Structure 1
Amino acid sequence: MDFGASVIMQSEGESAEDIPPSILWGLDPIHSAFVKLYIKDILELKKFQPIPGMFFYKTHPITKVDILGTIVQRREREKLFNFGVDDGTGVISCLWWKKQRTMENVKLASPSCGLNLLEQLGRINQLEKNNFQLQLGAVVQVRGCLRVYRDQREIKCISISKVVDPVFNAQISRMLELPYLYRNFYDKTCQIQMDSPESNPQGAQSLSLQQKIKQFLNQNRVKNFYQQELEAVDSLVCIIQQSLASLCQQQHLPDTSQDPPSSTSVSKKIHQAFQDAVCALQVEGIIFQKKAGYSELFLVTDEEEELHSVTLGIVRDDSTRPKYVDKGCPFHHILSCVRHSYSEGVSEAAMQRVLDRLECNSEIVSTMDQHYTAS
């Protein structure tokens, strides 16, 4: 059961051009914080369609939120608690997954130590259970990740704190804090100093190297590669050498770009540049790894036929199930099934790229926001 208002999509007065480039999101301090917002504004955040779980308040990217309110609805399921929190401006659904703590395999290290581990573990379990007896009317502070499920905004909780405050100090403090945060941070555009390529050759080098790697992979129809193999491609290495030479000129340093490739300093800089570019391509979903690690194989998403086949099979099979026959399979369900059947290393960005490609080929159809069915 979901609580709160339905998702409010991007307003007509705001355009996609207002959103800064994704490469700059990490420079906004709000992006990595648990953002304290009114629930009304959480329900009205602009949704960034290409990336599930990414939202915007004006020009600020937001993935995590912090709310304080009263529990007005509550339901306990087998694996989770589902409760609605009201802060006076709106109601939003919050999910808290139950933690399973097993005691069958706990054994005493030494019976003479005077500590019964099973008893202590039982007390901890009881304390945790008591802590989550969240009844209607209880005031709680919730931190978690924002997501959309069945067209409803909800918070997947990371932490829940029950507020015992007879004189309402916590609520009053939040009421005073929020206007200050909105006025001084949220309603202001984050001022990011944009360096030109001439003043920031390393930034230009990184973008140029990413584009060249994309072209190299596409032109040669590369299906998989190791990073060391890219570092042996002369046309790609030349980009880094030119950047190093330009940087040395600006800083009036000796030109080391023409040093032998075996030079320790040059090889380290080349390796780091390729590592940064490869990481950026992973974030975009261009490439992915079945197993994480520098020495592991990288797979090119567009060329990985098995991944496309597995994804298409999941959509075809599951979209006929009664629970998905009307709206189609949700994105996170498909991602979970692919990770289980194919590889845990498939990122959300890579999965989205595969689904977009299947839709372009008319093999699947997006029935609604982040839902897919077989064509």
Structure 2
Amino acid sequence: MDIGTSVITPSESAEDTLPSMFWGLDPIYGVFAKLYIKDILELKKSQPVPGVFFYKTHPITKVDILGTIVQKRERERFFSFGVDDGTGVISCLWWKKQRAMENVRLASSPFGLNVLEQLNRINQLENSNSQLELGDVVQVRGRLRDYRDQREINSTSVSKVVDPVFTAQIARMLELPYLYRNFYDKTFQIQMDSSDPNQQGEPTLSLQRKIKQFLTQNGVKNFYQQELEAIDSLVCIAEQNCVSLCLHHPSQTSQDPPSSACVSKQIHELFQQAVCALQEEGIIFQKVAAHTELYLVTDAEKELHKVTRKIVQDDSTRPKYVDKGCPFHHIVSCVRHSYSAGVSEAAVQRVLDRLECDSEIVSTMDRHYTVS
């Protein structure tokens, strides 16, 4: 039996659709997820596995928040403080570390290093870092848990942020929408196949690599998809994979060879998938979005590079961008207005990366650019 792509819709429960043994395949599962506190408080709790929560289809165990301390209390073994990021308030626990330094025996160091003194300094730094006051801005990392029906963070790291000009808060405000749009809000998909590892994504990937190599080696500046389908070396790669796909199709018997119509249709669809994948990478783009329209190779489209550089050069001198540089989405908007409305964000990002690699522009902070 062949199992195709399992797509989980946001309305479905991820734990009902996907066994827990596969949660680790989601890269968000193993990181400190940067989320709004409002969303952390509303995460769905996993019933069979304690300590696992879900944002849409993504399993979450650890979080990273930045906010202001609005509540504080101290107990014998821990501090408890409430952190507010503007969307909600969550309780965080910060456990005290008991160090009986007077009972520590240390061997003498041959290099004259006083290890006990260094440990005392570290201990003092930890103690000063734990002196949190109302109004302090802190970055907290830790594991999520529910205690007495209240969502809280069992902190593993608490860092006081000394930032009089709010650089850290502004950076976080810019970063979170990008993370939500490109990762958290995207449906988690998993490729599972019990018979042929090439049947799902590998044919597209192999053809995609071959097309990319062909475009680079031949200095292609633009093309139509049907032109690629006439290149023998590319068609050969597609045919090998498509014959295999047709043979594994449920309606195809082992005695009957795959029909030419089946192979031709599969070849066309495979080229279409490979071209779409190259668009998502930003390798190619279209001025007008349609499968029949001309594709342009991003690295070879010098006019796009020229327009993008001029936008960064002109707008980075404007008062509101002079300190941090032009934000990425502002650059995309200007490129679409000055060059073509069909340019993808991936293509603009590739151009910016190339300009930065050539030292024509520099990135000043997360997705902000200015001239070098």
TM-score (norm 1): 0.51
For 1:291, the aligned partner's letter is V
Structure 1 Cα separation of the partners of residues 276 and 35 of structure 2:
35
**2:122 — aligned with what?**
none
Please give the root-mean-square deviation of Cα atoms over the aligned residues, in Å.
3.9
Partner of 1:211: 209
Mark the CA change 1:303 to 1:221 in structure 2 (over 3 Å): closer, same or farther: same
**Partner of 2:173: helix, strand, or coil?**
strand
Q: Does 1:300 pair with 2:297?
A: yes
Structure 2 unaligned segments of length 5 or more: list them. 14-33, 42-53, 61-84, 92-167, 178-183
Cα pair distance change 1:299/1:31, threshold 3 Å: farther
Deviation at 1:42, TM superposition (A): 5.2
Give per-residue Cα distances to partners, 1:52-80, cap 9 Å, x unaligned. xxxx9799399xxxxxxxxxxxxxxxxxx
Superposed, which structure 2 residues align to 1:266-285 within 5 Å? 266-285=263-282
Q: What CA distance in whole angstroms lies between the structure 1 residues aligned with 2:59 and 2:358?
A: 31
Distance 1:355 1:268, change over 3 A: same
Q: How does 1:120-159 map to 2 (within 5 A)?
A: 150-153=170-173
Q: Find 2:338's aligned residue among 341, 345, 348.
A: 341
Distance 1:38 1:229, change over 3 A: closer
Amino acid at match of 2:219: R
Q: Counterpart in 2 of 1:247?
A: 245
Change in 2 beyond 3 A, CA 1:87/1:307: same
Alignment length (residue pairs): 223
Shift in Å, 1:31: 11
CA distance, structure 2, for counterparts of residue 329 and residue 212 of structure 1 = 35
- DSSP 3-state at the match of 2:362: strand
Distance 1:233 1:334 in 2: 36
Q: Secondary structure at the match of 2:364?
A: strand
The 5-angstrom pairing of residues 64-79 of structure 1 reads none
Matched with 1:323 is 320
Partner in structure 1 of residue 75 of structure 2: none
Q: Kindly tell me: are residues 373 and 43 of structure 1, through their superposed partners in 2, closer, same or farther at Cα, counting changes over 3 Å?
A: farther
Pick closer, same or farther for the CA change 1:191–1:268 going to 2, 3 Å.
closer
Distance of 2:59 and 2:350 partners within structure 1: 21
Q: What aligned pairs does 1:41-120 form with structure 2 within 5 A after superposition?
A: 60=58, 86-89=87-90
Determine the C-alpha separation between the residues in 2 that align with 1:339 and 1:61. Answer: 36
**Residue identity (%):** 63
What residue number does 1:76 align with?
Answer: none
Residue number in structure 1 paired with 2:309: 312
CA contact (8 A) 2:285 2:298 kept: yes
| Higher CA-based Rg | 2
Q: Which amino acid aligns with 2:257?
A: D
Cα offset, 1:345, TM superposition: 0.8
> In the aligned structure 2, how far is the partner of 1:216 from the partner of 1:344?
27
Of residues 30, 35, 39 in structure 1, which corresponds to 2:36?
39
Alpha-carbon distance between aligned partners in 1 of 2:277 and 2:291, rounded to the nearest angstrom:
14
Deviates more, 1:264-273 or 1:353-362: 264-273
2: CA distance, partners of 1:314 / 1:43: 38
Q: Give the Cα separation in 2 of the matches to 1:301 and 1:38.
A: 33
CA distance in 1 between partners of 2:204 and 2:311 (Å): 37
Contact 1:330 1:371 in 2 (8 A): yes
4+ residue runs of structure 1 moved beyond 6 angstroms?
56-59
The yes-or-no answer on 1:220 pairing with 2:218 is: yes
CA deviation after TM superposition for structure 1 residue 324, in Å: 0.9
Distance 1:330 1:193, change over 3 A: closer
Structure 1: distance between partners of 2:280 and 2:12: 16
Contact kept? 2:316, 2:326, Cα under 8 Å: yes
| SS class of match (1:321) | coil
Indicate conservation of the 8 Å contact 2:37/2:87, yes or no. no
Question: What letter matches 2:171 in structure 1?
Answer: D
CA distance in 2, matches of 1:294, 1:302: 20
Q: Is the 8 A contact 2:246 2:262 kept in 1?
A: no
Q: In structure 1, how many angstroms separate the alpha carbons of the residues matched to 2:219 and 2:208?
A: 16
1:288–1:299 CA contact under 8 A, matched in 2: yes
Q: Name the CA shift for 1:307/1:234 in 2 (closer, same or farther; >3 Å).
A: same
